[in-house]
């Protein structure tokens, strides 16, 4: 159905196991998955199903126990730590539920700290940061504040700016609105939609149906597998059809 789309990440035979002392827990096994370029992919599933684990495995943030991941044509499962770090800084941007901004510096500096990794042209990076801050509606005065001095929504929008400053192939977002109230959530999600419309590939984990509607493809994780895969089509603000389709899908999945 997405035959024309270019595959961006391809996972084959993926297995992830956690060992705690004597016991081990298999989160997923024999898992195959393709992620396409330009998609806003949503991952859903019950709590503890392994959504975060899967996403961090795909991004190279965490290593799968076995299996291979080919990302932009590179088999990143074969990379060593340093190669992975270099690959990640160019290809992946991360947005966390807990936001995780560096506490001892301003929002702007948080963004530039990431920006410095991929470009030595400081002026250009600052310029891009300013544009992105404008895009996410953070005025200059707020850019100079510390993460502990701004609202959760502002901090998370700054987190998004940090994630995209290096023009990554994919932005990975793990429940980015999980800690935000509805107004702030809206603002953050609007940023994601804006980015997606500009062609940014995004993978986002969420529990929230309304948030899931922002994506064009919804994956459901259950029993250590991709239990379901639903194509919603691109986000349109007032489209009851998409909402109905998602409801149906989730009911089928046992949500």
Partner 1 sequence: MKKIKSQLIYNLKKDKGSYISFGIVVLITAIMLNLAFVLLFQVDKAYDDKFNELNTAAINVTVPKLQNTDALLNDIKSLNGVDDAECREAVFAEAVVKDFRATDFSMNTLFYNKDESRNMNKLDIKEEKTGMTENSIYLPLYVASFGEFGLNDEIVYEIGDTKHTFKVSGIVEEMQYGNYGKGLMGAYLPKEVYEKFSDEYSEQTVVEYSIMTNGDINALQNDISDLLEEKGITMLTSCDRISTKDTRTMVCNLIILVLSAFAIIILFVSVFLCKFRISNSIEEDMVNMGVLKALGYTGNMIIAGVVLPYLMVTVFASLLGVAVSYAVLPGLGELLTLQAGFSFGLDFDIKGLICVVAILAVIVLFFTYTAAKRIRKLQPINAIRGNSEGKSAKKNYFPLDETKGKTKLLLVMKQTFSNGKQNILLFGVSFVLTILVAFASTMFYNVIIEPDNFISTLSEEMPQIIVSPVEQYEDVISDELKSNSEIKSVLKYTVGTVNIDDMPVTVFACEDFSRVSNDLCYLGENPDEKNEIALGSAFEEKYKIGDRIEIQNGDIPCSYEVTGFVQSVNYQGNVCEFSLDGYEALNSEKLVPTLYVYLNNASDTEKIIDEIEQSYSDKIVSTMNYQKMTETTQEMYSGITSVIVVVIFILTILIVLFVLYIVIKTLLVQRKQELGIYKAIGYSNKQLMVQMIGSFLPSSVVAVLLSSVLGLIYVPQINQLIFQTIGAMKNNMEVSFAFLMIFAFVQITANLIISILLTKPIKKISAYALIKEG
Ligand X SMILES: Nc1ncnc2c1ncn2[C@@H]1O[C@H](COP(=O)(O)OP(=O)(O)OP(=O)(O)O)[C@@H](O)[C@H]1O
What is the smallest separation between the CB atom of 199 and partner 1, expressed in angstroms?
Answer: 21
* DSSP string for the chain: --TTSPEEEEEEEEEEEEEETTEEEEEEEEEEEEEETT-EEEEEE-TTSSHHHHHHHHHTSS--SEEEEEETTEEGGG--HHHHHHHHHHHEEEE-TT----TTSBHHHHHHHHHTTT-S-HHHHHHHHHHHHHHTT--HHHHTSBGGGS-HHHHHHHHHHHHHTT--SEEEEESTTTTS-HHHHHHHHHHHHHHHHTT-EEEEE-S-HHHHTTSSEEEEEETTEEEEEEE--S--TT-HHHHHHHHHHHHHHT-
225 binds ligand X (CB under 6 A): no
Selected from 42, 50, 94, 164, the binder of ligand X by CB under 6 A is: 50
Selected from 8, 9, 11, 27, the binder of ligand X by CB under 6 A is: 27
Selected from 10, 41, 52, 201, the binder of ligand X by CB under 6 A is: 52
Selected from 52, 156, 184, 185, the binder of Mg ion by CB under 5 A is: 52
21 binds ligand X (CB under 6 A): no
Q: Which stretch binds partner 1 (CB under 8 A): 38-46, 144-152, 217-225, 242-250?
A: 144-152
14 binds ligand X (CB under 6 A): no
Q: Which stretch binds partner 1 (CB under 8 A): 25-33, 112-120, 176-184, 198-206?
A: 112-120
Chain residues in the site for partner 1 (CB under 8 A): 56, 61-63, 81-82, 85-86, 88-90, 92, 94, 96, 98, 100-106, 108-109, 112-117, 120, 122, 126, 129, 144, 146, 148-149, 162, 166
């Amino acid at each position: 159905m997405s035959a024309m789309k270019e595959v961006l990440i391809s996972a084959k035979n993926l297995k992830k196991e956690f060992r705690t002392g004597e016991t081990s827990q298999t989160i997923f096994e024999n898992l195959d998955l393709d992620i396409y370029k330009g998609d806003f992919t949503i991952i859903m599933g019950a709590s503890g199903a392994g959504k975060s684990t899967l996403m961090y495995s795909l991004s190279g943030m965490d290593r799968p126990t076995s299996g291979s991941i080919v990302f932009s044509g590179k088999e990143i499962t074969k990379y060593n730590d340093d190669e992975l770090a270099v690959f990640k800084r160019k290809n992946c941007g991360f947005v966390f539920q807990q936001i995780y901004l560096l506490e001892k510096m301003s929002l702007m500096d948080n963004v530039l700290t990431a920006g410095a990794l991929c470009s030595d042209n400081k002026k250009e990076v600052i310029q891009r940061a300013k544009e992105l801050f404008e895009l996410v509606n953070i005025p200059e005065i707020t850019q100079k504040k510390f993460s502990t001095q701004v609202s959760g929504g502002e901090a998370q929008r700054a987190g998004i700016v940090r994630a995209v400053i290096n023009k990554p192939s994919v932005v990975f977002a793990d429940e980015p609105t999980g800690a935000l109230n509805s107004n702030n959530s809206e603002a953050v999600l609007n940023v994601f939609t804006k980015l997606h419309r500009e062609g940014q590939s995004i993978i986002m984990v969420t529990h929230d149906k309304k948030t899931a509607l922002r994506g064009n493809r919804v994956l459901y994780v259950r029993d250590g597998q991709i239990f379901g895969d639903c194509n919603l089509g691109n986000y349109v603000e007032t489209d009851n059809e998409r909402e109905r389709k998602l409801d149906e899908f989730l009911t089928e999945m046992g949500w």
